[in-house]
Amino acid sequence: MQPIIAVLEEVRTSTPLVHCMTNTVVPEITANVLLAIGAAPAMIDLPEEAGIFAGIASALLINVGNGSAEQHRGMRLAAPAAEAAGRPWVLDPVAVGALPIRTALARDLLAHRPRPSAATRPRSWASQGSAAAAAASTPPTTRRRRSTPPSTSPGVTARRSPSRAPST
């Protein structure tokens, strides 16, 4: 694993173009953070452009919180395009496991995950990560209701970072 200083220096020298598909609450914050570390954010969520742009960008960020049906359609086109282009991508599974539409969307997106790497991983709280893992590994026709919260599911280990506030 590279030290954070080396990663930041690499970002600053390469200025990666990051395709951001965020919920309606965080686009300005996301763009400002990416600009602050030296990346170039692009907020592209139209379905007609999302798949094309995901193949052009250096990386893809998908945040499934508070999205519209049109944004979800764009996300479903962007993930396979990023996978086909070999681009790293991050899934922020906001409220996955608690809400059925977001859970189904996360399952669809995770079917297009590229090879594991340090830059390609879901980002979440413990309960969201557990729910996303369960959604990705269980076909929708065989899923059963849980009697325990997703964060206590056997076989799934997730940790909550005390230094990070929940995403919206």
Residue 11 near residue 50 (C-beta atoms within 8 A): no
Structure confidence at residue 38 as a pLDDT band (50, 70, 90): very high
Q: Which residues contact 162 (CB under 8 A, 6 or more apart)?
A: none
In DSSP terms, 92 is beta-bridged to: 63
Percent of the chain exceeding pLDDT 90 equals 60
Residue 163 half-sphere exposure toward CB, CA atoms < 13 A: 0
Specify the pLDDT at position 141. 43
On the question of pLDDT at 53 being above 80, the answer is: yes
Nearest 5°: CA angle at 80, between 1 and 71? Answer: 105
Structure confidence at residue 131 as a pLDDT band (50, 70, 90): low
Phi, psi of 167, rounded to the nearest 5 degrees: -80, 160
> Which contacts of 137-142 are long-range, i.e. CB under 8 A and separated by 24 or more positions?
140/104, 140/107
Q: How many CB atoms lie within 10 A of CB 166?
A: 10
* Distances 132 to 15, 65, 138, 163, 167 between C-alpha atoms, Å: 30, 13, 10, 22, 15
**Hey, what's the torsion of the CAs at 100, 159, 26, 6, to 10 degrees?**
-140
Structure confidence at residue 138 as a pLDDT band (50, 70, 90): low
Structure confidence at residue 148 as a pLDDT band (50, 70, 90): very low
Length of the chain: 168
Specify the pLDDT at position 2. 73
133-161 average pLDDT score: 42
Question: Which of the 8 DSSP states describes residue 150?
Answer: G
Specify the pLDDT at position 140. 46
The structure's pTM equals 0.69
Specify the pLDDT at position 130. 53
Structure confidence at residue 117 as a pLDDT band (50, 70, 90): low
* Distances 121 to 17, 100, 113 between C-alpha atoms, Å: 18, 21, 8
